[in-house]
Copies of this chain bind each other. A is one copy, B any other.
């Protein structure tokens, strides 16, 4: 298989199954991940960063070995629609972003991306059609170097039993677990 070939229809089929529906952000994300992968040298073990929790993590999880649960994908919410793939040992890699300046030619994508129309006014099929035609054309790519502190593997350290909830937790979190420290989402 030519590494420059990206089968968008096959990808959209997988998006429907995993993400639930062919969200524009995940579809564009497919092109973005594909572009980043073509920049990485053959055989390099790479990790991923998504700069947003929306949509892009699923594109990365569908098209690379990196998932949230295996720790190879980190979500660092910077609010930007961008992602990076980088050598997990040396931190050199490539960042791909949606380039706002390239959206003038694609009004449906622009209206969706900048939320210039309400959801109801937007034509889902029109957006998707423009995304498929635009493809890599609306993406930008640049080399990046990850800061050393972001290359460290997460280490939970020693595990203890929380004296309050009696469940296991990383002792480095304190004398009780974070939930019992008041961060629980439960009433």
Contact residues of A between 82 and 121, Cβ < 8 Å to B? 82, 84, 95, 97-101, 113-115
**Given A147-B186, A168-B114, A57–B69 Cβ distance below 8 Å?**
yes
Q: Compute how far the CA of A71 lies from the CA of B19 in the bound complex, rounded to whole angstroms.
A: 10
Residues 28 to 48 of chain A near chain B (Cβ within 8 Å): 29
**For A178, what are the chain B residues with a Cβ–Cβ distance below 8 Å?**
77-80
How many copies of the polypeptide does the oligomer hold? 2
Cα distance A95–B87 in the bound complex, in angstroms:
37
**Given A49-B185, A159-B113, A167-B82, residue A67 in contact with residue B76 (CB < 8 A):** no
Expressed in whole angstroms, the Cα–Cα distance for A68 and B61 within the complex equals 10
CB < 8 Å: which of B69, B75, B80, B177 contacts A179? Answer: B80
A170 at the interface (CB under 8 A from B): yes
Interface size class of A (residues with CB under 8 A): 35 or more
A6 at the interface (CB under 8 A from B): no
Q: A98-B168, A179-B51 are in contact. Are A69 and B58 (CB under 8 A)?
A: yes
The answer, among B26, B68, B95, B146, for a CB contact under 8 Å with A57, is B68
Residues of B within 8 A of A147 (CB): 185-187
Determine whether the beta carbon of B70 is less than 8 Å from that of A20. Answer: yes
Q: How far is the CA of A49 from the CA of B95 in the complex (A)?
A: 29
Q: In chain B, what residue has the closest Cβ to A158?
A: B115
Contact A179 B78 (CB under 8 A): yes
